Amino acid sequence: MDNHKTGTYISLMRRERNMTQKELAEKIGVTDKAVSRWETGRGFPDISVLKPLAEVLGVTIAELINGEPSVYEAVAEQADSALLETISYFKSMTRKTTSLLLLAAGVCLAALPLILTGRNMLYLPILGICAAAAGIAVLFAKRPFPVFQKPLSSKAARLISLAFLAAAVFLELLPCGVVMIFADGPEKTFQATASYFDLLPFGYGNFFPLITAVLTAVDILGVLASILWRERLPRLKDAVYLCCILTLVCSAVPVLFGITFVGAAVSASLAAAAVFQAAANRKV
């Protein structure tokens, strides 16, 4: 895919139909700034707007991706080539992004004991090494994740994501997910646990468990809405995915105060929910 070639073609087709960037943007439900980015080669249309954009401009999706009109005899071949290239591009970007996130998480976890002295955090370097190893494995794996290879429908992926979010909420309600460390004296400390919905950790400055719980509830409502009103709210799927990622990040922060099996299970459930939400969006 050539962003500049596609952008030039979009600009040409728009002008042939005597449309301004704003008029084109209104017809397909985006901003005129997005259209400007496409036409200048600084961006590429999202996969969800390729079909309406092609219909408004009176061209095929293959022509949009290739950035040139197709000869009738070569339409099928160019369409196949463009489709394969697009799928390959998104798979590559997803793997690279996942790998970089895992590597960054691994480095941060391994470095935390050096920053937070005075606490027994020997398990963090182990988690960091595992995360970094997973990132390297994802980057150099010959095949992408199996979940993206199997014919999983968009609705099924969202339902699975919803199930993992429901499991996360159940775990967050348990009174042993959040660790709090109290001190009786300079060298006397003891730990207490609470649920993610408990206000006690929030009162002691550990804000992220409650934020994680609230965001998980928002994720569930968002997934339900994306299932029931997918056609009316086409952009909701992206917002839900980003919210799932934010929830996952917030769930990992309490590891600074200590980790429990329930807390680790919450993060794992949220990670799985984010993965299946990504799979649902890629199937659209």
Which CATH number covers residue 30? 1.10.260.40
Are 151 and 281 within one domain?
Answer: yes
Domain housing 31: 3-70
Are 162 and 284 within one domain?
Answer: yes
Specify the 3-state DSSP secondary structure of 118: coil
Are 55 and 161 within one domain?
Answer: no
Q: Which of 70, 103, 127 is the C-terminal boundary of a domain? A: 70
Q: Which pLDDT does position 94 carry in this prediction?
A: 66
CA dihedral 224, 227, 232, 235 (to 10 degrees): 80
Are 151 and 282 within one domain?
Answer: yes
- Quickly count: other Cβ atoms within 10 Å of residue 229's Cβ: 11
Polymer length of the chain: 284
E strand or H helix that includes residue 188: strand 188-194
The residue ranges of the chain whose pLDDT is under 70 are 1, 70-96, 109-128, 130-131, 133, 135, 137-152, 182-187, 189-190, 230-234, 254-259, 282-284
Contact 242, 219 (CB under 8 A): no
**Is 88 among the domain residues?**
no
**Is 127 among the domain residues?**
no
**Is 100 among the domain residues?**
no
| Integer Cα distance of 139 and 115 in angstroms | 28
**Is 170 among the domain residues?**
yes
Provide the CA 127 distance to its chain's centre, in angstroms: 22
* Distance between first and last Cα of the chain: 20
| Integer Cα distance of 251 and 132 in angstroms | 19
- The total number of structural domains in the chain stands at 2
Q: Which pLDDT does position 144 carry in this prediction?
A: 45
Q: Which pLDDT does position 73 carry in this prediction?
A: 45
Are 170 and 62 within one domain?
Answer: no
For the chain, what is the largest distance between any 2 Cα atoms, rounded to a whole number of angstroms?
Answer: 83
**Is 159 among the domain residues?**
yes
Q: Which of 47, 70, 93 is the C-terminal boundary of a domain? A: 70
Q: Which pLDDT does position 150 carry in this prediction?
A: 47
Provide the CA 118 distance to its chain's centre, in angstroms: 35
Q: Which of 45, 70, 95 is the C-terminal boundary of a domain? A: 70
Contact 280, 158 (CB under 8 A): yes
Q: Which residue has the tokens 């997934």?
A: 223
| Integer Cα distance of 240 and 225 in angstroms | 10
Answering whether pTM is above 0.85, one says no
**Is 138 among the domain residues?**
no
